[in-house]
Amino acid sequence: IQGKLYLRIDRKGEGAKWRRTVGQELYSPLLLAFTEQDADNRLHFQQPTFSGIDSSYSLPNNTVLLTLQVC
């Protein structure tokens, strides 16, 4: 059997923060995906956008924000 073991010793109450942060990086890494688009077959329409969060605001640690874009 092969695998990885992560061991970390923290102060009381701080282990969950580390586990969530490292777990997010290990099991849900950022994925960038690109596709080609035919220049003659583009859709010409404005897509409305909305953001309920100010761009200068940063989420607290231990917070994961998942988004979904439907095209």
Judge if pTM exceeds 0.85: no
Residue 7 — very low, low, confident or very high, per pLDDT cuts 50/70/90?
A: confident
The pLDDT value recorded for residue 21 is: 82
Selected residue with higher pLDDT from 44 and 15: 15
Each residue of 40-63: b (16+ CB within 10 Å) or e?
eeeeeeeeeeeeeeeeeeeeeeee
Q: Which of residues 67 and 56 earns the better pLDDT score?
A: 56
Query: How many H-runs (helices) and E-runs (strands) does the chain carry?
Result: 1, 0
Q: Is residue 57's pLDDT more than 60?
A: yes
Query: In angstroms, what CA-CA distances link 6 with 14, 24, 28, 30?
Result: 15, 14, 17, 21
| Res 27: pLDDT | 80
Dist. CA 39–CA 31, nearest whole Å: 25
In this structure, which amino acid lies at residue 3? G
